Chains A and B, each alone.
Chain A
Amino acid sequence: MTVPKDMAEKWLWMLVPWRGRRNPRNKNPGQEEERRVKASDRDYNEKFPYADNRIRTSKYNIFTFLPINLFEQFQRVANAYFLFLLILQLIPQISSLSWFTTIVPLVLVLTITAVKDATDDYFRHKSDQQVNSRQSQVLINGKLQNEKWMNVRVGDIIKLENNQFVAADLLLLSSSEPYGLCYVETAELDGETNLKVRQALTVTSELGMDMSKLADFDGEVVCEPPNNKLDRFVGTLYWKDSRYPLDNEKLLLRGCVLRNTEWCFGMVIFAGPQTKLMQNCGRTAFKRTSIERLMNTLVLWIFGFLLCMGIILAIGNSIWEEKVGKNFRDYLVWEDVLSNSVFSGFLTFWSYIIILNTVVPISLYVSVEVIRLGHSYFINWDRKMYYGQRDMPAEARTTTLNEELGQVEYIFSDKTGTLTQNIMVFNKCSINGKTYGDVYDEFGHKVEISEKTPCVDFSFNPLRDKKFHFYDHSLVEAIKLGDPMVEEFFRLLALCHTVMSEEKNEGELVYQAQSPDEGALVTAARNFGFVFRARTPETITLYEMGKHVTYQLLAILDFNNVRKRMSVIVRNPVGQIKLYSKGADTILFDRLDPTNDDLMYTTSEHLNEFAGEGLRTLALAYKDLDEEYFADWMKRLHIASTTLENREELLASLYEEIEQDMMLLGATAIEDKLQEGVAETIACLTLSSIKIWVLTGDKLETAMNIGYSCNMLRDDMNEVFIITGHTVLEVQQQLRRAKEQILGSGRETANCSKDAEKTEQYRNDSVFEETITSEYALIINGHSLAHALEADLECLLLDTACLCKTVVCCRVTPLQKAQVVELVKKYKRAVTLAIGDGANDVSMIKTAHIGVGISGQEGMQAVLASDYSFAQFRYLQRLLLVHGRWSYYRMCRFLCYFFYKNFAFTLVHFWFGFFCGFSAQTVYDQWFITLFNIVYTSLPVLAMGLFDQDVNEQNSLRQPKLYEPGQLNLLFNKRQFFMCTLQGIYTSCVLFFIPYGAFSNTVRDDGSHIADQQSFAVTIATSLIIVVSVQIGLDTNYWTAVNHFYIWGSLTVYFSILFAMHSDGIFRIFPSHFPFIGTARNSLTQTSVWLVILLTAVICVMPVVAIRFLRTDLYPTLSDKVRHMQQASRKQRPQEQNLKRVRRTSSRRSAYAFSHQEGYGELITSGKNMKAARLFPAPPTGRIPGSSSWIESLLKKRTEMASGAAVGPLNGSAERSKSENTPVQQQHID
């Protein structure tokens, strides 16, 4: 909790070795060096201390709960401190308070925490229970028996069925698929939803499902000890006197799901806590907010202050005892232990530590937790962050970071799946010099496409994809008219690709595309009547305008990064050989036949137009090949592809040769659909001074494209610096040049200093950064970033990047993402937020102060690592500007008030010390001290901390500048703390000295006394309660019924308890505990007492009101202004105003935007990804029987998902473009 707590933990770690038990990794430290497991031989395996398959994430059981939980709680400094006080209070010479004043709050705090811990643990128990009692089939004595997961032992052979979770880390022995293949989904482990292939050893795959053979299998595996490396496994199988090497490809890890495999058998290697999954879910680093760090510092300061007060009063006591107390001994003898005045001072020091302990608020931490929990629930409950299409509400997965959401300065965003939907839509095209895709009204004006725009009716086409929308009718008419160029255009789209098709039922075509772009193009062709229906390694079957046509596939000239184009060579039914090519316009235009120049010119114009709208463009061309030339070329290709040396170059030159003199057909434009509201969100967040950096694994062009379409990059920017250096020197030069250009040469900044005070440095920075009026953008690619992140360049990178409005890093690895975040965290002392949806974002999400996971389609990994999760990027705006801002605001107000309240309450004792001989006599009734913090004043401030809003949500969103105080740390900092403690000290002063002046001589209206200690206590306590209630009333800006209830309720409760405790009845029962009998009655019926209370309250509150009024009147903050406006316009209901979406105009040319990888084409022609046994040419009609099952069920799953998300199945099934860590599945088969 506080800094010393960490120390305490380390310290305890050394003392209490059994603590390590909770961490499975430490179970056998250094003991297991290699693992030996014998199949189906429990006796043998039990010789080793291998963990069984029971997992335990719970911390306690019924018997250990109390001791362990209490032990944990007392590790918190605050709790330990109060325990220490409790012990002090048991010493009669020191005890200035009864034991219950400390123990009641302490017990309350401990109970609340314990209940929370117990509830958490209960749910962990339940989930453990659920996991542990899952059924699995274990082969015991040659028979399959159902066993619970927790009873599975290392060495057991278990049978898995399709769609089952893998129970433990298994060595795959055999499966239902040929060659011992089996498919698993590893979403739980790495977040990738594509299927991975695992293959058993040939010797074991021959065991099949023959129980007797399997039961006889007695191989012994010797392998590495348990570790957390998901992608590595080294072991050896010893069986029948042979050795077989084992690697990761033969292992099924716990947490995976078996897919598309009817059954498989595996032998348990690691079980329970020793599985790689469990080894990987260590506790995530505990994140702490900056407010909490500040709070801890302040608590330490308060400790210091407490000690100072104690010392002052102790010295006072020594002096008093020396000068006065010595002579007063006739009436007040010294106790036996008291030998001299110095010792008396020493004892008094401790006594004062006890009575002044309330300056360190015991309930602070609990209250903070409660408030944060409440804020988290508000996030979970927010309907405006609920995504209906996937039934996904926002979720605050941690409850400790809420207020930090109001202080974010840097957002690091992933691109694919976060900013974009990763859905590609065929949007426009240009065919033979004519554009299609725009809709015009009768006057020839362009119509903005909206929901209402009528779609083109594709019902003529039985095989259409119903989710495909196109608005321009002229293209269909052209098709229907049989325009040969248009036909050729779509024929090309239907032929030139590497998509796999799947037809489960007649007409239900599903495409499995490697990149979403390809999928979009093929789907477009499909709807326009050129349906790609099936393919074999040698043929492609189309359903062309109602006819089945089978093309012979002669060659695929596949895509790669250098070629930036792909071509297919086919022989059509007529016998003509044709080359169809699609690729980046710049590349393709160079290889056109010169007769195309005019067309090229118009198409080029169209491409500019498309690119200007942020669309991804492709140019299409074809070429007729003559038979002889092709035969010759084919021969040379064959020779080239069998050579061993320079094969790549030879092939490339052959491809180059044939892809010449092509005829231009046109161009396509695909929209990389941004998620809803991304541009508006980014615009709004930018307005609130949040800097957004995009870190993507995508290519430069794609990233820039998205940058333009979400308005982060604009044409009116002064300069967009692109850093693409390959060496350190180049990168350094490029960065320098960029920096100099921004600053003008000669100016040097020293942003990169770690030690500068944050606020000061920030001011300098922001003043400086504001002087740069022009806008710049920095784009840096992964290679350069690797160099730029080196120690000597990182400062330069950071300086330059921070001078730019927009920073885009492309082609970055997950590690680099984290490094960039770390860099900003290290030098800028700013709160960072990382948002992403994929496994590659996990590192960055964990590194940033706040990690946000988009619960997209890319598995749960990002979400599991995140602190907050929701379904759409645009909710980020609401999370930060509404919830974050409110949380921060509330927390700050809460802390200010809390410290104020405790100072006002406690320091009265300090002043009283000077009038009671520094004897540590309390001013108040002990019961009042006990109940003040936990009963009388806790709920109003809690209600404020939970419900207060200075500005309503509409205005929070409409005035993004309102977010800035949080970034600048204005609402609660050391200065604010100082101010509120000062206010507390002032209040305590007034609270003491006004009654002091009024009471020194006064008597009751019947002549009896009222200047006695008890009346004095009641008067001050009542004044205090009234003053702090008025103060919370002033602090509460949003008086809901709950606030009213709590504030008035607290006052009522105070008076009820006061009169109850001072009543005759309770005194008769416990005469020694309630000595205040009758005081309330006798003092609070006096007018003069109420006059004193009124006076005290007015004097306490008046200056505060005056200062606050002056501040809002003379120097209103934006929040004050908005609040005024809000009040003024409360009668007229605020209308929803949305930032108008700005359509960018850009002359930028988008490039060939395929994000797929090389190597797919070869797979198709070799047929390796289709099951060899079932590979036969598809009949032109009818369904394809026994189609390859992995695609089938992958697609099945995808369609199910997609049907909920209302996206095309193609798009849904799209292979993600995050290629850097998503190995293409087929590579496993190779």
Chain B
Amino acid sequence: MASGYSAKEEDGHHSGALGPAGGAAVRSRKPDNTAFKQQRLPAWQPILTAGTVLPAFFIIGLLFIPIGIGLYVTSNNIRELQIDYTGTESSSPCFACSQNYSWNMTTPCVCSVSFSLDQPFESNVFMYYGLSNFYQNHRRYVKSRDDSQLNGNLNSLKEPSKECEPYRTNDGKPIAPCGAIANSLFNDTLALYYNDPNGTETQIQLVKRGIAWWTDKHVKFRNPVGDDSNLTAIFQGTAKPVNWQKPVYELDSDPENNGFINEDLIVWMRTAALPTFRKLYRIIEKNSSTSPTLPRGNYTLKITYNYPVRSFEGRKRMILSTISWMGGKNPFLGIAYITVGSICFFLGVVLLIIHHKYGSRSSSADLTH
């Protein structure tokens, strides 16, 4: 700091010279004797010693290996089946559908994939659709939405946010829901049939409610509320997203699952973190306690093929999976825990040996006292 001229200094000398004479009146400038000011605050002073570090490594090792084994076993017990139905190969049943690219097919292209389960799926089964090489996490994609509009704000319904460009308006009418995310809503329809050994084909009941987060369904996404309780009337004056076949108020017949609170839409709007992702499509609930949800046998997956991914070399999958306490099948975490636990344990041993052989236990010997 530059020390400029100031009266304080000018006077400082003056009073300094005369100070002690009137010393009694002047308050002493002696600093306070507090632990804080004298930097004597009581303190815990941990140091890394063999006594603390080595046990820590062993404990982590011994803790992580069982956790890892537990995770791995749990993960292995999860039944999971993935069926890629992209149809890029000519042998694939969906090859024909994948070749006809169009968003607005008047006659839907349907293809069916057969598969068999060697082992039954016992508990509730979750059906996912998986996409690869689909950049839902691209910045321009991620921001291309209007949360206010999706929350039922009437102003935003009429005047969507600029972020939605170029899916903001169509023919001068605001798009609802606007933006690239909503525009690219996954619109394949998947249906699952069980092929009885006797030849009959039973459609398996797929539950489409309860697939979205409760907070999303009940807080984040709201249908706009107007004078009319009729959704069609409320969405009057808006345009459907360009790629959609139906407007938003016709997504489902169930009024609790229609419009912005349609769960398929909500699930899609929760953008994935990575370019390969899966999203929950339907739930197959366990009906009876005696029979498995999906018994062993042959199944057919019928796909109404609408969603083009060929142009960007994407893949589409259907995944059937059971669930454990730690979620879906995920061997990575188990293996990682086992590895890290082993490394810690091993490191502990190595450090112990090094410490024992070379460590300086009499470290303060050469200090001058």
Q: Which residues of A contact B (CB under 8 A)?
A: 55, 57, 92, 96, 123-124, 127-128, 130-131, 165, 187-188, 255, 257, 277-278, 281, 283-284, 286, 324, 327-328, 330-333, 335-336, 351, 378, 380-384, 386, 388, 390-393, 397-400, 855, 859-860, 864-865, 886, 915-917, 919-921, 947, 949, 953, 958-959, 994, 996-1017, 1037-1043, 1064, 1067-1068, 1071-1072, 1075, 1077-1078, 1081-1082, 1086-1088, 1091-1092, 1095, 1098-1099, 1102, 1105-1106, 1108-1110, 1112-1114, 1116, 1118, 1120-1128, 1137, 1197, 1200-1201, 1203-1205
A–B pairs, 20, beta carbons within 8 Å: A124-B4, A257-B14, A283-B4, A336-B166, A381-B31, A383-B38, A386-B30, A388-B30, A860-B9, A915-B275, A1002-B328, A1007-B323, A1039-B43, A1039-B44, A1077-B220, A1078-B216, A1088-B326, A1113-B359, A1123-B45, A1204-B19
* Cβ A1009 vs Cβ B5 within 8 A: no
* Cβ A1016 vs Cβ B273 within 8 A: yes
Q: With A328-B135, A1077-B220 as given contacts, are A1121 and B364 in contact (CB-CB < 8 Å)? A: yes
* Cβ A1098 vs Cβ B325 within 8 A: no
Closest CB of chain A to B87's CB: distance in Å? 17
* Cβ B4 vs Cβ A1204 within 8 A: no
Q: Please, which residues of chain A bring their CB within 8 A of the CB of B358? A: 1113-1114
Q: Please, which residues of chain B bring their CB within 8 A of the CB of A947? A: 39, 41, 43
* Cβ B213 vs Cβ A382 within 8 A: no
* Cβ B312 vs Cβ A999 within 8 A: no
Total number of residue pairs linking A and B with CB closer than 8 Å: 371
Q: With A327-B312, A915-B274, A1087-B325 as given contacts, are A1071 and B7 in contact (CB-CB < 8 Å)? A: no
Within 8 A of A (CB), among B21-53: 21, 23, 26, 28-33, 37-39, 41-50, 53
Q: Please, which residues of chain A bring their CB within 8 A of the CB of B50? A: 1109, 1113
Within 8 A of A (CB), among B308-367: 308, 311-313, 321, 323-330, 332-333, 336-337, 340, 343-344, 347, 351, 354-355, 358-360, 363-364, 366-367
* Cβ A1001 vs Cβ B278 within 8 A: yes
Does B71 make an interface contact (CB < 8 A)? yes
Q: 0/1 per residue, B269-283, Cβ < 8 Å to A?
A: 011111111111001
Q: With A998-B336, A1113-B360 as given contacts, are A187 and B13 in contact (CB-CB < 8 Å)? A: yes
CA distance A919 to B18 in the complex (A): 71
* Cβ A1011 vs Cβ B351 within 8 A: no
Closest CB of chain B to A668's CB: distance in Å? 31
Closest CB of chain A to B19's CB: distance in Å? 7
* Cβ A1114 vs Cβ B37 within 8 A: no
Closest to A57 in B: B4
Contact of B333 among A1040, A1072, A1088, A1197 (CB under 8 A): A1088
CA distance A351 to B143 in the complex (A): 14
Closest CB of chain B to A262's CB: distance in Å? 19
Does B173 make an interface contact (CB < 8 A)? no
Closest to A955 in B: B367
CA distance A1102 to B3 in the complex (A): 49
Q: With A130-B7, A1204-B23 as given contacts, are A393 and B369 in contact (CB-CB < 8 Å)? A: no
Closest CB of chain A to B107's CB: distance in Å? 21
Q: Please, which residues of chain B bring their CB within 8 A of the CB of A188? A: 10, 13
Does B246 make an interface contact (CB < 8 A)? no
Q: Please, which residues of chain B bring their CB within 8 A of the CB of A860? A: 9, 12-13, 16
Contact of A997 among B12, B64, B336 (CB under 8 A): B336
Contact of A1071 among B11, B151, B162 (CB under 8 A): B151
Q: With A915-B275, A917-B138, A1040-B42 as given contacts, are A1109 and B126 in contact (CB-CB < 8 Å)? A: no
* Cβ A324 vs Cβ B133 within 8 A: yes
* Cβ B274 vs Cβ A382 within 8 A: no
Q: Which residues of B contact A (CB under 8 A)?
A: 1-14, 16-21, 23, 26, 28-33, 37-39, 41-50, 53, 56-57, 60, 64, 67, 71, 124, 126, 128, 133-142, 144, 146-148, 151, 153, 161-162, 165-166, 180, 183-184, 211-216, 219-220, 267, 270-280, 283, 308, 311-313, 321, 323-330, 332-333, 336-337, 340, 343-344, 347, 351, 354-355, 358-360, 363-364, 366-369
Closest CB of chain A to B105's CB: distance in Å? 15
* Cβ A1012 vs Cβ B1 within 8 A: no
* Cβ B340 vs Cβ A1095 within 8 A: yes
* Cβ B279 vs Cβ A1009 within 8 A: yes
> Beyond A327-B311, A1011-B272: 15 further Cβ-contacts under 8 Å?
A278-B5, A283-B2, A384-B38, A393-B29, A393-B30, A398-B1, A860-B12, A916-B275, A919-B135, A997-B336, A1075-B147, A1106-B53, A1110-B354, A1121-B367, A1204-B19
CA distance A920 to B143 in the complex (A): 12
Closest 3 CB pairs of A and B: A1078-B215, A1204-B20, A1016-B273
Q: Please, which residues of chain B bring their CB within 8 A of the CB of A128? A: 6-7
Q: Please, which residues of chain B bring their CB within 8 A of the CB of A330? A: 184, 308, 311-312
CA distance A997 to B274 in the complex (A): 11
* Cβ B31 vs Cβ A383 within 8 A: yes
Q: Please, which residues of chain B bring their CB within 8 A of the CB of A1200? A: 17-18, 20-21
Closest to A278 in B: B5
Q: Please, which residues of chain B bring their CB within 8 A of the CB of A998? A: 330, 332-333, 336
- Most chain A beta-carbon contacts within 10 A, residue among B10, B141, B144: B10
* Cβ B2 vs Cβ A1009 within 8 A: no
* Cβ B367 vs Cβ A1122 within 8 A: yes
CA distance A1106 to B349 in the complex (A): 12
CA distance A859 to B13 in the complex (A): 7
* Cβ A332 vs Cβ B140 within 8 A: yes
Contact of B137 among A915, A949, A1205 (CB under 8 A): A915
CA distance A1108 to B347 in the complex (A): 13
* Cβ A1120 vs Cβ B363 within 8 A: yes
Contact of A1116 among B8, B166, B355, B363 (CB under 8 A): B363
Q: Please, which residues of chain B bring their CB within 8 A of the CB of A1105? A: 48, 53, 56
Q: Please, which residues of chain A bring their CB within 8 A of the CB of B326? A: 1005, 1087-1088, 1091
Closest CB of chain A to B167's CB: distance in Å? 8
Contact of A391 among B28, B148, B337 (CB under 8 A): B28
Q: With A188-B10, A916-B137, A1102-B344 as given contacts, are A1067 and B220 in contact (CB-CB < 8 Å)? A: yes
Q: Please, which residues of chain B bring their CB within 8 A of the CB of A1038? A: 43, 45
- Most chain A beta-carbon contacts within 10 A, residue among B126, B147, B321, B354: B147
Q: Please, which residues of chain B bring their CB within 8 A of the CB of A1007? A: 124, 126, 211, 280, 283, 321, 323, 328
Closest CB of chain B to A430's CB: distance in Å? 38
Closest CB of chain A to B156's CB: distance in Å? 8
Closest to B355 in A: A1113
* Cβ A96 vs Cβ B139 within 8 A: yes
CA distance A335 to B166 in the complex (A): 8
* Cβ B8 vs Cβ A127 within 8 A: yes
* Cβ B45 vs Cβ A1125 within 8 A: no
Q: Please, which residues of chain A bring their CB within 8 A of the CB of B41? A: 947, 1040-1042
Q: With A96-B139, A386-B30, A1008-B212 as given contacts, are A1106 and B351 in contact (CB-CB < 8 Å)? A: yes
CA distance A1039 to B42 in the complex (A): 8
Closest CB of chain A to B319's CB: distance in Å? 9
- Most chain B beta-carbon contacts within 10 A, residue among A332, A382, A1123: A332
Q: Please, which residues of chain A bring their CB within 8 A of the CB of B280? A: 1003, 1007-1009
* Cβ B148 vs Cβ A1072 within 8 A: yes
* Cβ A953 vs Cβ B332 within 8 A: no
Closest CB of chain A to B294's CB: distance in Å? 15
- Most chain B beta-carbon contacts within 10 A, residue among A996, A1008, A1039: A1008
Closest CB of chain A to B333's CB: distance in Å? 5
Closest to B330 in A: A1002
* Cβ B337 vs Cβ A1091 within 8 A: yes
Q: Please, which residues of chain A bring their CB within 8 A of the CB of B64? A: 1098
Q: Please, which residues of chain A bring their CB within 8 A of the CB of B332? A: 997-998, 1000
Closest to A355 in B: B139
Q: Please, which residues of chain A bring their CB within 8 A of the CB of B148? A: 1071-1072
Contact of B273 among A381, A1012, A1081 (CB under 8 A): A1012
CA distance A193 to B275 in the complex (A): 80
Contact of B276 among A281, A400, A1000 (CB under 8 A): A1000
